[in-house]
């Protein structure tokens, strides 16, 4: 702590010197002459942080296992960051040179974050679709002749097994396979939930915008009340009730969860689609369609919907993230996706304790972090793409 | 001023109405459960007589509307009924020690949760404001882009991922802070703070990102206004322009987002408390959800909703009060 403070103070002196040296060396070039102290400090700080990162990375590669173990995760993080950055850059290069004219132009103005996002989403979709081919074992398969609780890492001295690089769980299922199937279950269920929420919230919102009057008032007040309750809390309350009803009705609890989260989330979609719909309803072409005698369904889906696609699409990305994180949180708390389905949130809860062994055997701590990281990575990727889409459509340059 | 007062009174009335309706929703939702409390307490081997007796004791033979009002009346006085997971039978057998009452369980945990939320807010709010001002000052620079990526990532990561990453680096690999927050009632403040720091840091990461982005956006929104141009042409330094001219006018949206994030803090503690085994109200809520301890679930839900609504109400009122056009009508 003291060392950190001392470093911060010495950076100040270094920054001062750096600016002075810059001014002297370039003969008071405008860039150095007008540089504020804050900017100079920022440069020194960034250089120091980078230097520390490089030092820590080298420590992670040191031959002494005690030191290497300590910096193992930092090493993985740095390597992961570099690999993903290069991957995103290559992907953007690919997009700029392959494809139709439209996609080429799209990729030309794309920031690296957005191309990273698109690449990651494609990878997740690929893994989710082909999970049964990629995974070495079934998601609920208890492998015969193999002990439960094989340690991750494949190091026989530590109780691992090279056939199971991430080990097996408490009843002998392959963790790697479950991680791969998690893409199918977690992402698939979140996607289905978002689609239901959009169908429900979107059609209700357009209906309220087109009809107005008491229906609009009624729906809007119901939505107000539902939105006044924090969504995770409300979902937990309703899941308690669903967990009692599910076995009585013989319907899996997961279906209840999909319905509950879809309804809770449709309130946000309703707000947006009603607002967007209201600004479209006053257009002349809607009036014309009404005078032609078109029905309500035609008005909503053929006239309003095509004109509301852009904001709804961006909202779909945000909602998907939100639903995905809610489902992961519920599963982590133990009331979400139920076994035997493999799911990342549940895996983090079951394996979370292994994080405490990271100091002695870093590989042992990886499965829970991989599962949690898989959730985070997809959410980050979707957010990057949505951020870029919003930035593009708003035309903001600042 | 009278105008503002009417608006505020309207908002207050609306807020309390919402709270009332929300309490009805919670009550009705809980009453959707098959069977009732009496059967749940006694289990399957209950005789009809004992079920009827407990039903009479708890007032479950009353109509639903009457039960709602007695529950609400009790809740307003801090009496949330009795939990049936913990020592609840003591109450029914006559030796009323109060150990099984929901209020008794919730009170200390509520204080813990408020402490956690307060510590996180004390770190997050200044941190977010400074970062937001800096990002607005050096907009479109490498610093701005790096913070943008960092904040977007921490907004979209689930809380438990951030929590485990912090545990990994700050508790396991470098044992600086404890990874489990076992907090007792009679603990020194510094001890308590040390054990709260890691969950508080997790919450800070989640909340700071959002607040910082909104601060940056609110300030940048104003930078094209004529009076900012004027200040710049006078030869003011960029930092002074932002802190003296842009920030005061950007306060309304900033206060709003701070209040909303505080509301999020109080409800978002659930996952973080579970990860760190922090003895707060969120942990209690999740536990009682698992054991289907309905009175506790009901009470926690009401408390969370009330905190959420009240803070959102505060956000509303503060943004009205900080709007000079409303405070000084022509």
**Which pLDDT band holds residue A245 (cuts at 50, 70, 90)?**
confident
Mean pLDDT along residues A20-32: 82
Query: What domains can you pick out in chain B, each with its CATH number?
Result: 104-326 (1.10.3720.10)
Enumerate the residues of chain A whose CB falls inside 8 A of the CB of residue B29: 237-238, 241
- List the single residue in A224, A355, A382 with the smallest CB-CB distance to B172: A355
Three-state SS at B327: helix
Residues of chain B neighbouring A372 (CB-CB closer than 8 A): 158, 160-161, 164
How many Å separate Cα B301 from the centre of its chain? Answer: 11
Q: Fill in the DSSP letter of residue B43.
A: -
- Chain segment A166-225, per-residue pLDDT in tens: 777 777 788 888 888 888 888 999 999 999 999 999 999 988 988 888 888 899 888 988
CA A307 to chain centre: 28
Sign (positive/negative) of CA torsion B130, B133, B138, B144? positive
The rounded percent of chain A whose pLDDT value lies above 90 is: 18
pLDDT at residue A124 in the model: 92
Helix, strand, coil % in chain B, rounded to nearest 5: 75, 0, 25
pLDDT at B209: 86
Which tokens sit at B115?
A: 């402490």
Q: How confident is the model at residue A32 (pLDDT cuts 50, 70, 90)?
A: confident
What's chain A look like in SS3? CHHHHHHHHHHHHHHHHHHHHHHHHCCCCHHHHCCCHHHHHHHHHHHHHHHHHHHHHHHHCCCCHHHHHHCHHHHHHHHHHHHHHHHHHHHHHHHHHCCCHHHHHHHHCCCHHHHHHHHHHHHHHHHHHCHHHHCCCCCCCCCCCCCCCCCCCCCHHHCCCCCCCCCECCCCCEHHHHHHHHHHHHHHHHHHHHHHHHHHHHHHHHHHHHHCHHHHHHHHHHHHHHHHCCHHHHHHHHHHHHHHHHHHHCCCHHHHHHHHHHHHHHHHHHHHHHHHHHHHHCCHHHHHHHHHCCCHHHHHHHHHHHHCHHHHHHHHHHHHHHHHHHHHHHHHHCCCCCCCCCCHHHHHHHHHHHHHHCCCCHHHHHHHHHHHHHHHHHHHHHHHHHHHHHHHHHCCCC
Tell me phi and psi for residue A296, to 5 degrees.
-65, -40
Q: What pLDDT is stored for residue A115 in this prediction?
A: 92
Q: Are the CB atoms for A367 and A347 separated by under 8 Å?
A: yes
Integer Cα distance of B131 and B150 in angstroms: 12
The answer to whether residues B176 and B170 touch, using CB atoms and an 8 Å cutoff, is: yes
Neighbouring C-beta atoms of residue B171, cutoff 10 Å: 19
Q: Which two tokens mark B51?
A: 């079920």
- How does pLDDT run across A81-133, given as a tens digit for each residue? 999 999 999 999 888 888 888 888 888 888 888 999 999 999 999 999 988 88
Averaged pLDDT, A315-330 = 90
Determine the pLDDT at residue B35: 62
* CB A150 within 8 Å of CB A161: yes
- At residue B89, the pLDDT reads 47
Distance CA B204, CA A78 (A): 24
pLDDT (0 to 100) of residue B97? 45
Determine the Cα–Cα distance for residues A87 and A117; give it in Å rounded to an integer. 11
Mean pLDDT in order along chain B per 10 residues (330 residues):
78 88 86 67 71 71 77 76 55 47 81 88 90 86 86 86 88 79 75 86 88 87 85 86 84 83 80 88 85 80 87 83 68
Task: Say how many Å lie between the first and final Cα of chain A, rounded.
Answer: 37
A240: which 2 tokens? Answer: 């308690």
CA-nearest residue to B282 within chain A is: A233
Domains of chain A: 1-60 (no CATH), 181-394 (1.10.3720.10)
Assembly ipTM: 0.86
- pLDDT tens per residue across span B135-155: 888 888 888 888 888 888 888
- Give pLDDT, residue B295: 79
Of B18, B158, B286, Cβ closest to residue A376: B158
Write the Ramachandran bin of B87: left for phi over 0, alpha for psi from -120 to 50, otherwise beta: left
Q: Is the pLDDT of residue A367 over 60?
A: yes
| pLDDT confidence of residue A397 | 44
Are the beta carbons of A167 and A229 closer than 8 angstroms? no
| Residues B152, A384: C-beta atoms closer than 8 Å | yes
pLDDT band at A29 (very low <50, low <70, confident <90, very high): confident
pLDDT at B277: 87
Nearest chain B residue (CA) to A326: B158
pLDDT exceeds 60 at position A77: yes
Q: What average pLDDT does chain A have?
A: 85
Contacts of A242 in chain B (CB under 8 A): none
**Alpha-carbon span A116 to A113, nearest angstrom:** 5
> CA–CA separation, A150 vs A30, rounded Å?
63
Give how far Cα A125 sits from Cα of A182, A261, A378, Å. 12, 22, 10
Q: Does B159 touch chain A (CB under 8 A)?
A: yes
In this complex, how many residue pairs, one in chain A and one in chain B, have their CB atoms less than 8 Å apart? 169
A24 to chain B nearest CA, in Å?
Answer: 23
Distance of CA A356 to the CA centre of its chain: 25
Q: With contacts defined as CB-CB under 8 Å, which chain A residues touch B20? A: none
DSSP B170: I
Q: Do the Cβ atoms of A139 and A181 come closer than 8 Å?
A: yes
Contact A45, A53 (CB under 8 A): no
Query: Which carries the bigger pLDDT value, residue A35 or residue B125?
Result: B125
Nearest Cα to Cα of residue B207 among B278, B155, B272: B155
Encode pLDDT of A376-396 as tens digits.
999 999 999 988 888 877 654
User: What is the spatial distance between Cα A67 and Cα A148, in angstroms, rounded to a whole number?
Assistant: 30
At A118 the pLDDT is 92
A202 vs A269: CA distance, rounded Å: 6
* Residue A65 to residue A68: CA distance in whole angstroms: 5
| Cβ atoms within 10 Å, residue B163 | 29
Residue of B nearest to A328 (CA): B158
B-interface mutation test, from A37, A124, A241, A375, most B Cβ less than 10 A away: A241
Q: CA-CA distance, B296 to B330, in Å (whole number)?
A: 51
On the question of pLDDT at A360 being above 70, the answer is: yes
Query: Taking CB atoms and an 8 Å cutoff, what residues of chain A touch B139?
Result: 398
pTM of the predicted protein model: 0.86
């Amino acid at each position: 702590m003291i060392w950190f403070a001392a470093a911060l103070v010495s950076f100040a002196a270094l920054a001062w010197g750096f600016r002075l040296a810059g001014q002297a060396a370039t003969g008071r070039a405008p860039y150095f002459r007008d540089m504020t102290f804050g900017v100079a400090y920022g440069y020194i700080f960034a250089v120091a942080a980078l230097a520390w990162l490089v030092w820590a990375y080298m420590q992670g590669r040191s031959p002494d296992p005690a030191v290497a173990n300590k910096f193992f995760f930092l090493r993985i993080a740095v390597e992961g960051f570099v690999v993903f950055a290069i991957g995103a850059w290559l992907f953007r290069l690919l997009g700029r040179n392959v494809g139709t004219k439209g996609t080429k132009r799209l990729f030309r103005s794309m920031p690296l974050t957005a191309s990273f996002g698109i690449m990651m989403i494609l990878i997740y979709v690929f893994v989710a679709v082909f999970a049964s081919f990629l995974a070495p074992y079934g998601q609920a398969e208890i492998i015969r002749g193999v002990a439960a609780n094989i340690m991750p890492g494949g190091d026989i001295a530590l109780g691992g097994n090279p056939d199971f690089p991430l080990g097996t769980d408490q009843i002998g299922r392959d963790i790697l396979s479950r991680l791969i199937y998690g893409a199918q279950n977690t992402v698939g269920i979140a996607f289905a939930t978002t689609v239901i929420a959009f169908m429900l919230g979107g059609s209700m919102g357009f209906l309220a915008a087109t009809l107005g009057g008491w229906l609009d008032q009624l729906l809007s007040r119901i939505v107000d009340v539902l939105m006044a309750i924090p969504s995770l809390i409300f979902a937990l309350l309703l899941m308690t009730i669903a967990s009692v009803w599910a076995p009585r009705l013989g319907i899996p609890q997961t279906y209840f969860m999909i319905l509950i989260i879809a309804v809770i989330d449709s309130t946000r979609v309703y707000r947006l689609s009603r607002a967007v719909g209201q600004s479209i309803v006053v257009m002349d072409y809607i009036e014309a369609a009404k005078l032609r005698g078109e029905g309500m369904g035609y008005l909503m889906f053929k006239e309003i919907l095509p004109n509301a696609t852009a904001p709804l699409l961006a909202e779909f990305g945000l909602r998907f993230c939100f639903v995905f994180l809610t489902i992961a949180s519920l599963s982590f708390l133990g009331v979400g996706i139920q076994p035997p389905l493999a799911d990342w949130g549940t895996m983090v809860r079951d394996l979370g304790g292994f994080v405490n062994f990271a100091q002695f055997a870093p590989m042992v701590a990886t499965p829970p972090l991989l599962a949690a990281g898989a959730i985070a990575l997809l959410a980050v990727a979707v957010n990057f793409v949505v951020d870029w889409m919003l930035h593009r459509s708003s035309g903001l340059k600042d | 001023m009278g105008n503002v007062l009417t608006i505020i009174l309207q908002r207050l009335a609306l807020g309390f109405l919402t709270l009332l309706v929300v309490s009805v929703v919670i009550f009705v939702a809980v009453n959707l459960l098959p069977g009732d409390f009496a059967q749940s307490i006694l289990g399957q081997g209950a005789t009809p007589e004992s079920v009827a007796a407990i039903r009479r004791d708890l007032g479950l033979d009353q109509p639903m509307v009457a039960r709602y009002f007695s529950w609400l009346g009790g809740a307003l006085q801090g009496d949330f009924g009795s939990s049936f997971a913990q020592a609840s039978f003591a109450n029914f057998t006559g030796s009323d020690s109060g150990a099984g009452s929901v209020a008794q369980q919730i009170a200390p945990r509520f204080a813990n949760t408020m402490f956690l939320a307060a510590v996180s807010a004390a770190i997050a709010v200044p941190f977010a404001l400074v970062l937001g001002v800096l990002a607005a000052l050096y907009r479109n620079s490498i610093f701005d882009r790096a913070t943008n990526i960092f904040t977007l990532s921490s907004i979209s990561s689930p809380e438990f991922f951030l929590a485990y990453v912090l545990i990994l680096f700050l508790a396991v690999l470098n044992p600086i802070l404890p990874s489990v927050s076992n907090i007792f009632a009679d603990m020194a403040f510094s001890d308590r703070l040390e054990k709260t720091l890691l969950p508080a840091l997790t919450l800070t990461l989640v909340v700071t990102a959002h607040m910082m982005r909104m601060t940056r956006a609110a300030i940048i929104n104003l930078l094209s206004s004529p009076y900012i141009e004027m200040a710049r042409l006078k030869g003011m330094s960029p930092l002074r322009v932002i802190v003296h001219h842009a920030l005061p006018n950007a306060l309304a949206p900033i206060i709003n987002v701070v209040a909303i994030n505080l509301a999020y803090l109080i409800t978002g503690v659930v996952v973080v408390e579970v990860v760190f085994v922090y003895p707060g109200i969120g942990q209690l809520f999740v536990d009682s959800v698992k054991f289907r301890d309905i009175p506790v679930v009901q009470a926690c839900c009401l408390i969370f909703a009330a905190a959420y609504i009240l803070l959102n109400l505060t956000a509303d009122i503060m943004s009205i009060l900080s709007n000079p056009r409303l405070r000084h009508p022509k």
